[in-house]
Every structure is written in structure tokens, then in C-alpha cells.
Amino acid sequence: MKEKSDAPHTSNQAPDEEMETASSKKYLFDNPRNVKILLRTFFSSLLVLLVIEFFIHKHPHFPWEGWHEFYAVFGFVACVALVLAAKYILRPLVKRGEDYYD
Amino acid sequence: MIDTVPPATVFIFGALLVPFIRGKWKSAYLLLIPVVGFINLINIPEGTHWVVRFVGYDLVFGKVDRLSLLFGYIFHLISFIALIYALHVKDDLQHMAGLVYAGSALGVIFSGDLFSFFVFWELLTVASIFLIWARGTKESRGAGFRYLLVHSAGGLCLLAGIVLHVYQTGSIAFGYMGLNSVATYFIFFGFGLNCAWPILHPWLTDAYPAATITGTIFLSAFTTKCAVYALARAFPGTEALIWIGAIMTGFPIFYAVIENDLRRVLSYSLINQVGFMVCGIGIGTHLSINGAVSHAFNDILFKALLFMAMGAVMYRTGKINGTALGGLYKTMPLTCIFCMVGAASISAFPLFSGFVSKSMVMDAAALGNMRIIWFILLFASAGVFHHAGIKIPFFAFFSHDTGMRPKEAPLNMLVAMGIAAFLCIFIGSYPWPLYSLLPFQDVGYDPYTASHVVGQTQLLFFSALAFSLLLLSGIYPAEMRSVNLDADWFYRKAGRRFLWFCEKPLMVFGNFLDRYVLKLAGASKSSPAEAVQWEQGIDRFFHVKLTSVPTVIYNWVRHLRTEMGYLPINVTYVAISFVVLLFLVLLLG
């Protein structure tokens, strides 16, 4: 294994976890056990985020910002919609061969 | 107090000396230029300097206020970083082009009059084109020419506007204009082209991925940000900008999801980020303009960081397509970390720079009770994380292992990326120095409220969840080698077809007429002299018919104008300017 042990983020599957999972620095992405630990950390941090919302004071500009888990649901739905629209609507419309302009 | 010079001159004259300095001194000399420039800049007091009388007008080379100074600082900073990143390049022409490009950007920022503004604006295009052509591939040559033509069209539009404006107002001073005359509409569109507004944008996604590895860093910083500055100076609070900005944040993310070339993905996300700035300028409150300007500052850093990371990957592997990359974290860990810092910053993670500036624009939209705009911006925030925050690092450094084991990026690249990454984290964690430089000091802003931090983190984490689930379930669109059609189709394909139509069927038809009309006439009259007379008669007939066309069009347009008198005047101007611009682009293409 050539990997340096000081590469804390290399073992993350999703890069957004880097702050949450700094403890995972000695693990390597190649080892499936570590991937599992990382995913678990990721999912538990999701859970923490969902719960923590009930303990903070909100000051919403719009009424829906006050709804519980609004941002979480929006983030998830928006990204699924984005990917589906890009894959099933945009790509069939605009995709051409690599030599299209030659 | 030391004697100061216009900031642009340090770079432009500095560039001229580059070929005369050899060996190790060259690196030192290159890095010295932005340093000297910066010392020069911080010694310039606010106010108007270097006024030159020129054919009856006052040229102002130093309009120094908080707005221009902020852009001045970041332009010096990014020049310094980009030059470190490019130190290994042995090609003097690229260094000179980069320096002149940075110099002309500074010229634009500090111009107080429209004339010198325009000259520097055009110099931007001329200098940057060499950074594209220097790549030396067929693709870059083509993209460079298209870049040049599109920007010439935009430049002409701007020039037309400036000439009209000076004619109407009698002044060449550059300051707040507002959309109130044909002249300002032309100027508006001229800015808009450099700002990569929707439909006018494809020059960016066409040319930036085609430029050299080091040239792209310069490119990503200057042209669009100069346009943002110009809009903030001349058109703050223009309502159209709110919608233009919102559309800019929205549509590129769809393209970014299906794009394979990772530098093109970044180009799309560049448009997306500029959209936030344009939107902020359009909202026009002090908070939103502060947000727009600080976001420009941050965007220059994190976008350069991402382009540098991708450049390093390209430098080591020679590849940039998502399909050809993967697993590079194993041997390029530092580049990978820097890339993820850039990714976290552009995604506006708490503690990273995007967080402290993008949220100002969002909050300004919310304070203005702009619901739809706010939703589009929120959607774009989630989307940008999706394509720039996850896709870029994931496909380059993780994903499937391609078996490539390239070396870590060269030291100069690592240093440049390290500086940018440090600044991204520093500004994100401690934004007050940046806030103290913003144009409006009467609005305080605190990004780190509990609800904001939790809301934003939720948004991003659940976007990540969506990404993971889509990827694991196989729904996430696979990277494919392809060309994705964009608005550049109009001048790359339709323009070519139009030319073909003129050259082939139209010319053949013309030749046919010439030959057979004469023959027919000759046959019927059996005398060549009479045949020629006949032919001339026919020609004259057609000539009369053809020359009457403009009169018909004129009458028609006059009629149309009376009709359009009932429309709000703005719609007419927008429509006319837009059609003119489209025609220009089409014709030139």
C-alpha cells in the first residue's frame, strides 16, 4: 500500500463527510470495512442533523423555513429531481457524438 | 508616502520585460510583479487619480473606491497564485499574456471613463486569447477563434452603446447608468456577454476547457469578474439582472451533471456562481451587493483552486474526462485534499468561504420577499454541491480505480493550491477581514447563526445522500464521451449551414441564371447584341425590384413601431438589442 497515513480524506466515499469523519484518517478506501464505517458515520451524522434541528432557535424569513426538516427534504428532492431531469430530459435532447462539430 | 502608478501599468509594463530575464531570476521576477503591484495598490488613497486630457475628454486611470479596491486586491492575489502555479511553464508568451490579461483587468476595474474602460476591456480579450491558443491543439485553435469572434461582437455592442451614450449625455464618465436608453441597453448587453449570461454564455464553456492548464486559472478569474464589477458599478438594482442571475444559477447545473470533461463541468459551475453575483447586483440592496462582491472575491479563489486541482490531474495524467479518471487519491493525496477544500468552499459548507458570501445574496432575496428567486437560488445551491462539490472530486480521485499511479503534482502547483486552500478556509472561518473591505459598511452580517449553519448543512448532507443513493442504485447518469449541444450550436452548426447555403445552392442558382438567361435571350433574338440588351433589361428589372425591398421593410418597420408604441418601451429595446446581437453573433460565426 502506497497511501500515506496523513491523507484523512482519501478514504471518504462522499467528500462532504470530511469534517465529520476526521477520525477516519488511518483508514483506507480500499478496505471495504472502512467504507462501511464511513457510510455509517455519514448516515449517523444525517440523523444527528435531523434531530439537532429541534433544539435550535429559528428565525425564518419565509414560513416554510420554519417547517421541520425543510432543508433536508428540499436538498434531497432537489438533487434527485436534478439528476433525473438531466439524465432523462436534457441528455437525450443534447447528446451528440464526440465528432459532431468536426 | 511613495509615488504610485496606475495599477494596470505595473503588470502591463512588467510583462514586456519578461523575455529579457533569464534563468532562475525569471521566476523571482514573475512573482515580484504582483507583489510590487500590491504595494503600489495599498498606497493609493481613495479618490480620482491620473486624469489625462484627451481630445476634449477626461480620461481617468484611477477611480479608486471601496468597490474597485476590493476587486483590485483579489486580482493581485489571484495573479500571484496563478503565477506560482505557472512557474514551471517555459513559454514566455504565456507568462506575458497572463500578465497583460491581469493588467487589463486591473485597468478595467480602475477606469473612471468609458474610453479607457473600453480599451482595457478589449485588451482583456486580446490577451486572454493567447492563453487559449497556447495549448496548440486543433480544438483550442477553433475555440480561440470562436472566443475572439463572440467577444468582438460583444465589444462592438459595447462600443455602440458607449458612442451613443457619450453622444446623448456628452460625458464619458463611467458610473451608475441604469437601464434607461438604447445606449445603456447596448452597454448592458456588452457587459452581459462577458458575464456569460444565458444564451450568450457558450464562449465560456467552449474556450475555458480548451485553454492551457495554467491559462485556465487566469481565465477563470478575470473576464467574468470584470463584467460583474462593471454591472455592480453601472447597473445595480436593475430588476432584469435578478432574473438573469437566477437563470444563470439554474440551467448550468443540469449540463454539469451530464458533462464528461471535468474542466467543462467547472466552467458550467463558474456560470452558476456568477449567477449568484448577478442576482445580488440585481436585487440592489446594500446587503445583496456586498454579497455579490464578496462572492466574486471568494469565487475567484475557490474556482481557481478547483481549476488548479483539475489542471494538476491533467498535467500528471494527460486526461481530464470523467470516464478516463478515477482512483487518483492514492498517489495525489495533497491535490485531492486541496480539491476537496475547493469543493467544500464552492458548495458553501460552514467554515468554508462560499458559506459566508453566498448566504448574503440568499438572505437579501429573502428580505426582498422574492420567493421564486429564493427557491431557484436554493435549488442551485444544492445543485452546485452535487456537480462541483461531489462530482469533481469523486470522479477524479475516487470512483473506479483506473490503475493510474501518477506522481503528486509539482511543488509550485502544490504551493499555489495550498495558498488558495488556506485562504478559502481562513475566509470561511474568519470572514471579518473580508467583510471590512466590502463596499457598504452600514449593513452588518453574521453568517454563523445556529439555524443557518444547521439548515445549510442539512441541505448539503441530504444532497450528498441523494448522490450516494442514486449512484448505488445505478440511476446516476454514467459519464459518457459525447458533445452536448448548447447555444453555441447556432454559430457552430447553423452558421456553417447558412454559409454552405450561400456558397452552394444560392451560387449555383445565380450562375445558372447568368448562363441560361443570356442563352435564352440569344436564341430568341438570334443577335448577340440584342441578347445583351435583353439581359441588361432583365437585370435592371430585378435591380428595381430588389432596391424597393428596403422601402418595403422600412414601411413595415414603421408600422410595427406604431404597433409597439402600445408596449412598454423596455420590451421593445430589449427585443431589438437582442435580435441585433444574435444577428451579429450568427453572422460572425
pLDDT digits over B63-112, tens only? 999 999 999 999 999 999 999 999 999 889 999 999 999 999 999 999 99
Q: Enumerate long-range contacts of B363-367, CB under 8 Å, 24 or more apart.
A: B363/A61, B363/B287, B363/B291, B363/B445, B364/B280, B364/B283, B364/B285, B364/B287, B364/B288, B364/B291, B365/B279, B365/B283, B365/B288, B366/A61, B366/A62, B367/A61, B367/B285, B367/B287
Give the minimum alpha-carbon distance from B425 to chain A in angstroms, rounded to a whole number. 12
Task: Output the pLDDT for position B484.
Answer: 87
Question: Based on the structure, what is the number of domains in chain B?
Answer: 3
Task: Output the pLDDT for position A2.
Answer: 35
Task: Tell me the pLDDT tens digit for each residue of B275-290.
Answer: 999 999 999 999 999 9
- The mean per-residue pLDDT over the stretch B256-267 comes to 93
In the listed set B192, B214, B232, which residue is the last one of a domain according to the structure?
Answer: B232
Task: Output the pLDDT for position A97.
Answer: 84
The verdict on residue B188 lying in a domain is no
Task: Answer whether B348's CB lies under 8 Å from B354's CB.
Answer: yes
Considering only the beta carbons, identify the residue of B349, B369, B382 that sits closest to A75: B382
Question: B483, A98: Cβ pair inside 8 Å?
Answer: yes
Task: Answer whether B319's CB lies under 8 Å from B312's CB.
Answer: no
- The mean per-residue pLDDT over the stretch B306-323 comes to 93
Band of residue B31 on the pLDDT scale cut at 50, 70, 90: very high
Shared-domain flag, residues B570 and B550:
yes
CA B360, chain centre distance (Å) = 22
CA B562, chain centre distance (Å) = 38
Residue-averaged pLDDT of chain B: 89
Model confidence at A20: pLDDT above 60: no
Optimal mutation site among A62, A71, A88, A96, interface B, most CBs of chain B within 10 A: A71
Task: Output the pLDDT for position A26.
Answer: 46
Full residue range of the structural domain in which residue B460 is found: 236-487
Band of residue A14 on the pLDDT scale cut at 50, 70, 90: very low
CB-CB neighbours of B314 under 10 Å: 20
Task: Tell me the pLDDT tens digit for each residue of B536-580.
Answer: 887 788 777 777 777 887 787 777 666 655 555 566 677 777 777
Rounded-to-integer distance, Cα A63 and Cα A50, Å: 19
Using a CB-CB cut-off of 8 Å, the residues of chain A touching B486 are 94
Phi/psi of residue B271, each to 5°?
-60, -40
> Which H, E and C letters describe B124-160, residue by residue?
HHHHHHHHHHCCCCHHHHHHHHHHHHHHHHHHHHHHH
Percent of chain A having pLDDT more than 70? 73
Using a CB-CB cut-off of 8 Å, the residues of chain A touching B344 are 15-16, 18-19
Using a CB-CB cut-off of 8 Å, the residues of chain B touching A92 are none
Using a CB-CB cut-off of 8 Å, the residues of chain A touching B389 are 15-16
Give the minimum alpha-carbon distance from A25 to chain B in angstroms, rounded to a whole number. 12
DSSP state of B45: P
Model confidence at B394: pLDDT above 50: yes
Task: Answer whether B318's CB lies under 8 Å from B393's CB.
Answer: no
Rounded-to-integer distance, Cα B503 and Cα B208, Å: 32
Shared-domain flag, residues B228 and B256:
no
For residue B163 the three cell numbers come to 458612442
Shared-domain flag, residues B240 and B227:
no
Using a CB-CB cut-off of 8 Å, the residues of chain B touching A7 are 329, 333, 336-337
Task: Tell me the pLDDT tens digit for each residue of B416-464.
Answer: 999 999 999 999 999 999 999 999 998 888 899 888 899 999 999 999 9
What Å distances lie between residue A75 and A21, B181, B248, B315, B377, CA to CA?
A: 21, 42, 19, 35, 12
Give the minimum alpha-carbon distance from B333 to chain A in angstroms, rounded to a whole number. 6
Range with lowest mean pLDDT among A88-102, B25-39, B381-395:
A88-102
Rounded-to-integer distance, Cα B224 and Cα B191, Å: 9
Amino acid at position B581, single letter: L
Rounded-to-integer distance, Cα B229 and Cα B224, Å: 9
The verdict on residue B247 lying in a domain is yes
Considering only the beta carbons, identify the residue of B329, B383, B386 that sits closest to A7: B329
Counting every residue written for chain B, the total comes to 589
Question: A94, B484: Cβ pair inside 8 Å?
Answer: yes
Shared-domain flag, residues B466 and B524:
no
Give residues 39 to 78 of A whose Cβ lies within 8 Å of B: 39, 42, 45-46, 49-50, 52-53, 56-62, 65, 69-76, 78
Task: Answer whether B421's CB lies under 8 Å from B351's CB.
Answer: no
Task: Output the pLDDT for position A23.
Answer: 42
Rounded-to-integer distance, Cα B132 and Cα B212, Å: 6
Rounded-to-integer distance, Cα B318 and Cα B324, Å: 10
Considering only the beta carbons, identify the residue of A72, A82, A83 that sits closest to B458: A72
For residue B138 the three cell numbers come to 486543433
Model confidence at B224: pLDDT above 90: yes
Question: A75, B459: Cβ pair inside 8 Å?
Answer: yes
Optimal mutation site among B253, B323, B457, interface A, most CBs of chain A within 10 A: B457
B397 to chain A: closest CA residue = A10
Rounded-to-integer distance, Cα B210 and Cα B204, Å: 10
Give the minimum alpha-carbon distance from B240 to chain A in angstroms, rounded to a whole number. 23
Rounded-to-integer distance, Cα A41 and Cα A35, Å: 10
β-pairing, B483-484 vs A95-96, is antiparallel
DSSP state of B18: G
Give the minimum alpha-carbon distance from A33 to chain B in angstroms, rounded to a whole number. 16
CB-CB neighbours of B261 under 10 Å: 20
Task: Output the pLDDT for position B525.
Answer: 62
Model confidence at B365: pLDDT above 80: yes
The verdict on residue B191 lying in a domain is no
Considering only the beta carbons, identify the residue of B337, B351, B366 that sits closest to A9: B337
Question: B468, A98: Cβ pair inside 8 Å?
Answer: no
B60 forms bridges with which residues in the sheet?
A: B51
More confident residue, B297 or A61: B297
Rounded-to-integer distance, Cα B275 and Cα B268, Å: 11
Model confidence at A16: pLDDT above 70: no
Task: Answer whether B345's CB lies under 8 Å from B354's CB.
Answer: yes
What global pTM score does this model have?
A: 0.85
Optimal mutation site among B258, B461, B481, interface A, most CBs of chain A within 10 A: B461
Using a CB-CB cut-off of 8 Å, the residues of chain A touching B340 are 9, 15, 18
Quote the radius of gyration of chain B (alpha carbons, Å).
Answer: 27
Question: What count of CB pairs under 8 Å joins A to B?
Answer: 191
Question: A18, B340: Cβ pair inside 8 Å?
Answer: yes
Task: Answer whether B147's CB lies under 8 Å from B203's CB.
Answer: yes
Provide CB contacts within 8 A for B571, sequence distance 6+.
none
Shared-domain flag, residues B219 and B359:
no
Rounded-to-integer distance, Cα B355 and Cα A16, Å: 14
B581: closest CA among B195, B151, B148? B151
Range with lowest mean pLDDT among B137-146, B339-348, B530-539:
B530-539
Question: A94, B394: Cβ pair inside 8 Å?
Answer: no
Task: Output the pLDDT for position B570.
Answer: 60
Give the minimum alpha-carbon distance from A64 to chain B in angstroms, rounded to a whole number. 11
Burial B40-69, CB ≥16 within 10 A → b, else e: bbeebeeeebbeeeeeebebbbbbbeebbb
Shared-domain flag, residues B226 and B263:
no
Range with lowest mean pLDDT among B49-53, B93-97, B301-305, B570-574:
B570-574
CB-CB neighbours of B275 under 10 Å: 29
Optimal mutation site among B463, B484, B486, B489, interface A, most CBs of chain A within 10 A: B463
DSSP state of B113: B
In the listed set B487, B517, B547, which residue is the last one of a domain according to the structure?
Answer: B487
Task: Output the pLDDT for position B2.
Answer: 64
Residue whose grid cell is 440569344: B522
CB-CB neighbours of A78 under 10 Å: 23
The verdict on residue B187 lying in a domain is no
For residue B449 the three cell numbers come to 447563526
B291: closest CA among B459, B110, B499, B447? B447
Rounded-to-integer distance, Cα B581 and Cα B491, Å: 12
The verdict on residue B186 lying in a domain is no
Question: B351, A19: Cβ pair inside 8 Å?
Answer: yes
Task: Output the pLDDT for position B478.
Answer: 80
Give the minimum alpha-carbon distance from B469 to chain A in angstroms, rounded to a whole number. 9
The verdict on residue B517 lying in a domain is yes
Give the minimum alpha-carbon distance from B316 to chain A in angstroms, rounded to a whole number. 17
Give the minimum alpha-carbon distance from B389 to chain A in angstroms, rounded to a whole number. 8
Question: A9, B336: Cβ pair inside 8 Å?
Answer: yes
Question: B398, A18: Cβ pair inside 8 Å?
Answer: no
Shared-domain flag, residues B226 and B270:
no
Q: Which of A3-7, B372-376, B444-448 has the highest mean pLDDT?
A: B372-376
CA atoms within 13 A on the CB side of A1: 11
Give the minimum alpha-carbon distance from A96 to chain B in angstroms, rounded to a whole number. 5
Amino acid at position B428, single letter: G
The verdict on residue B407 lying in a domain is yes
B301: closest CA among B65, B3, B74, B143? B74
- The mean per-residue pLDDT over the stretch B176-200 comes to 92
Question: B390, A16: Cβ pair inside 8 Å?
Answer: yes
The verdict on residue B333 lying in a domain is yes
Provide CB contacts within 8 A for B385, sequence distance 6+.
A16, B347, B348, B459, B460, B463, B464
Amino acid at position A19, single letter: M
Phi/psi of residue B211, each to 5°?
-75, 175
Question: B463, A98: Cβ pair inside 8 Å?
Answer: no
Give the minimum alpha-carbon distance from B332 to chain A in angstroms, rounded to a whole number. 9
Task: Answer whether B164's CB lies under 8 Å from B182's CB.
Answer: yes
What Å distances lie between residue B540 and A70, A84, B525, B551, CA to CA?
A: 74, 61, 19, 17
For residue B39 the three cell numbers come to 504595494
- The mean per-residue pLDDT over the stretch B358-386 comes to 92
Band of residue B196 on the pLDDT scale cut at 50, 70, 90: very high
- The mean per-residue pLDDT over the stretch B179-197 comes to 93
Question: B379, A82: Cβ pair inside 8 Å?
Answer: yes
Provide CB contacts within 8 A for B207, sequence distance 6+.
B132, B143, B144, B146, B147, B219
Shared-domain flag, residues B65 and B49:
yes
Model confidence at A8: pLDDT above 90: no
B466 to chain A: closest CA residue = A76
Helix, coil or strand: residue A30: coil
Task: Output the pLDDT for position B546.
Answer: 74
Task: Tell me the pLDDT tens digit for each residue of A42-56.
Answer: 999 999 988 888 888
Considering only the beta carbons, identify the residue of B337, B398, B450 that sits closest to A56: B450
Rounded-to-integer distance, Cα B132 and Cα B137, Å: 10
Percent of chain B having pLDDT more than 90? 65
Residue whose grid cell is 474597485: B68
Task: Answer whether A8's CB lies under 8 Å from A25's CB.
Answer: yes
Helix, coil or strand: residue B64: strand
Phi/psi of residue B64, each to 5°?
-110, 110
Domain coordinates in residue numbering, chain A: 1-56, 58-102
